[in-house]
Amino acid sequence: MPRIDKIKEQIAWLKVVFGILSAVDVSLVGWLANNYDKVDINKTKIYLGTLIALLIAAVIVYVNKKAMKKIDELEDLRSRLLFYSLL
């Protein structure tokens, strides 16, 4: 598999991971907003849910940075291939 195709596949996979993590994080934050003042919910669940939401948000930022690096790598590779094809 050429390098460009490999990078494209890695970017596609990171998009899937990013989307899944975003959906999970939004759902968890929605649950927290809906249940933070409920009497029957244990406060430990709220604290744990908040911690997990923050951890997922950190992983989302990490995946985003990794995807941006791959996009930059793809751009550099394409520009090098264009340069060499002009020679």
Phi, psi of 36 (to 5 degrees): -65, -25
Using alpha carbons, select from 4, 10, 18 the residue that is nearest to residue 77.
4
Structure token pair of residue 26: 């939004």
Instruction: Dump pLDDT digits (tens) for 15-33.
Output: 999 999 999 999 999 999 9
Tokens standing for 1? 């598999």
* 14-18, 29-33, 34-38, 55-59: least confidently modelled range: 34-38
Domain encompassing residue 24: 3-86
Mean pLDDT, the chain, whole residue set: 91
Q: How many domains does the chain have?
A: 1
